[in-house]
Structure 1
Amino acid sequence: MRKSILLMLGVLSLFSCIQDENVFLVNESDEAKVQELTATEAQSKFARILSKAVSGSVEVRRFLKDEALKQFDNDYDVFYPYVKDKVVQGSQTFRDILLSYCDSDKELEQVEQAQPLLTILVPDLTLFWEFDASKWDVYDEEVAVLCREDKDNTLYENGEAIGQMETGDIPAFPCLVVKTNERLRVNTSVTRADGGASYEFVDDAFDGSKRAPQTRHWDADIPLEPQEDLEAYVSGSSLLPSVIQSYKEFKNVFNAFHRDYVYYGITKENKPGILNQRIREKLYRMCINPTAFIRLSDDEVDPKLQNTTQEKRQLSNAEILQRIWTDGAFEFRIYYYVGAENDDKVMDRKMSFTCRADKLFSVSQVHLHHKNSTAFRHQKNFYTVDAKNLKPKWLYVDKLFDKGQNRVFTGPWDLYSNSSVIYMFASEFDPDGSKTITKTVSSEYVNKADFSIESEKGDFPVKLGYGFSSTKRVTAVAEIETTIGSDELGTIELRFTDPIILDDKNGTYRLYNCSSGDLQVTFLPIDSYK
């Protein structure tokens, strides 16, 4: 089989569009049913079952090809709720055949409950090689199945996991994609007589029965990507155990700070603690206000949005996303400043990294202008993208660095000598003439009376309980070497007294974010020895 041949052109081209988990509504009783399986579990389970059916039956392959070619939603989608009861061979329906490959009826029922918009896509890969629904040779029994929600891109054939595609690969062999249909939603206002769900199109532009409009041209706004919830809770596995424990320890303790526990080991009993030299702060994630995009993309090498066109057919959402972003990446320069009481200069550290624009922003929709074909030309689709439809996304900075690279910006937070406030200045770097800019920073130092004895070595101050009796404020000037064309994103202040966790829910946590100007960031303490 040709599964060893992979074209390095972007795995997103597999998918006809990006799934929007918010495009359909489920009432409370339905929601209770789908909790048994997650979307990933349901799709993976269905992918295994489907891979057995398509490997074992040419009739199933022909059935899926014929259904895909109908393009009921203007894509090569086979909507499972619509086709499951259709006869494939003899008296067997599609669902009957799938059940014959299940360990029990309940196995398929769980998938159906968890994925009310379950869909099988025959991907259009004609941009890369000759495969789509119309070119599918159903007599070739070697067909791979994968599912959109699986971050590992696991390939299934005849019920077995046969490997994983690397990010950026395109399969050069027949394949099917299990997904949620983003062009439909459950119509909760309509109840079918048989008790089943009723469905409706998100937009008339997706209704295949209206594929041939009477007018020569028509327009539609196409939903493209879901908007990320920036306040979403994160898994506890992302946090240092002492961070979680500090939240639990001081949840209802007045004048105690999370970092008292993390850095000094001080508990709610308020006994003196010793500075943990291993703990550092890191830039966990950042997001940028989309209103700053035009300013950030002003240099020739910066990524930009562009319109695109396609003759004969409509583009999938993945294809649109691949085309509307130009090449290039933003380069960010991060400067950190923390004052030291025994030094008239602020200590500084620098960090830089690059990232593509689609890692920072999602595109909520594009405008489609369709021109019908005539005797002299093919039909043509014009896709127009507007920066006002950009939405912010969290950029997880860790993922941009190789393991072992330095991602921290300060030493141990020693309040005996250093300021209780750390400043971060961020800019998008553009090559141009160099310049020096100055920033005034106001350092705050804890009263030495808040500390008791020092250790025998004299370099690990002991903190006396939590809270500060008083602070001393000292101003200083920080100098930043930058360029004339670089775009400033704002100044962030991280205070020792800032919380780390704001709320918890079922083992997940809502984090405290610092923000200023066009920038919002999350800092997390980490163990620098791990």
Structure 2
Amino acid sequence: MQSCSNEPFENDGNNQQLDNANQKAPKQIESLNLSKTDQLKVDFGRAFAQALKESPELRQFIKQEALKQFNKDYDVLYNLVKHKPVSGKPSTRQKNGSVNSLDGLMQNYFEEKGTLDDIQSQLPLLTVFVPKLPENSFSAESWDPNDPSQIPVVGVRVDNTNEVPMIDAVNNHEYVLEDDVIPGYPVVVIKNNERLAVNTNDHNFARSTEVLEAQDGTSYRFLDDNLNANLTRSTNRDFLQIDDGNDGGSCNPPFPIISGRENTVPQFLKTAHDVFDGRISQPWQRDNIYYQLTPTQTTNTYVGGRYLEAITYFRLNNNNPELIFSIMSDQNNSANPDPMRTNQSWERDRTRVPWTDGAFEIGVSVTDNSKTRGNINMAFTFPAAPEELFIFSYESIVRRRGWGITWKRTYWRPKIDGFKGMDFTSTNIDAIKLHIHAWDLTEYSNIWHLDFKEVDVSTEITTKTTNVKKYNTNVSINIPLGEKEKAGLKFGASVEETNTDERNFKWVEGSDELGRIVIPFGDKTVIKNPCDGKLYPRLYNNASITLEMRPVQVEF
């Protein structure tokens, strides 16, 4: 893989690529044509870089706050911590007798009074992120704030380019980092937080229950409780890799399976398979799960919240993992088209900058056509670190920085080799659970659409869409008992009721599309593999992802 930089390379004798000393003048931050908000982030970054250079107490403060992982990443939301004391030691730049809070310290690094207040008012999601860099070169855990050699360079994540403005206060040098490499030296990143939103009526917070209050009166909500470390903490899950479906013998299953997933099938799913096996052609296993129907008992009541639909496995799926990684790592907004969706060459315009933002946020929109909800969909989000989704390695690059007097910097370029899968079947209280809701046919249509995106911008939009939906007509509410009943297997004696209307559709603007999966109520939840006689969860695939969606038991 070749660099997209204009800088030439040579070998330094240690199997590392090295910039030539007579390289062209480095690209300047001012050449990036930054938006107003991105320029504010750069202005803050310049002040923050000087403060980090001069204050080991500030470096210690940022390290400690990042290690808390309040949103399950190494983010420090400035507005939530700005009133906390950095240390009892006054800043060498102290201009007045104000308390030595983070905000009080940072005020000393702006020439004009009120500049920092303006930045905060226009960037309420301003965040300091401590990245975990390749080959143990830097992380919040390994950072020694008292070591002068570990004073970080400050990078800025901007919207209109995948290149990264870099501010090196120690060497009094600024440059633009190419988008195809990752630093191999201490760096912190200034960015907008993508896991929270300011608490307004413009957002649908159905999957978020906690409000965070800043001292200035601004309140925040997580996009999803899965991102809130106060409610749950993600566990280290075993990664399951998809194979070619061959069990090692001469038999090949007639459908794709994932080795090991047969061990995640609970007894109630086995029962739903066995009760119909050989007796009903193309049975609806959910008839047994949600209504306890059998070939001989074809009318029964709905069991309510005992079971919920859930995504139990997620994996990216494409014959070009490099391409998917580039699409998901793209930080451009909608005003700067994704090069993957134009005729531009992605070989020339790579977009791999996930190191500036930590884990990916995968958004899921479920179009269930609720009869009582104004929107046709409900949405939620879950975090996925690059190492949870991708198999990759690194090659090292050495580049010279500076002009006239130069010095070497080591970088890492990722080489994407394949994908990993994420398992969501753990019942541990702190494990991420991608629960949706029970599939009640009196409330929801019998076909659901699941849309997946990698969330880039936390701006929710609402649009109108014309939606075709189908409801079963053989489900009803028993008025005297108040119970929901289904009469007949599958559709029963009647068929489907189909109608079309215009309803609201909510989603997040500026995200990278990973495609749609269509799941009917009548799909089997588990399928018997004729090669080994075991039951495997049904897999759903599109050009970008592979997943399982099946009922899980939440009441016993």
TM over 0.5: no
Q: Which has the higher helix share?
A: 1
> Structure 2-normalised TM-score?
0.42
Pick the structure with greater CA Rg. 1
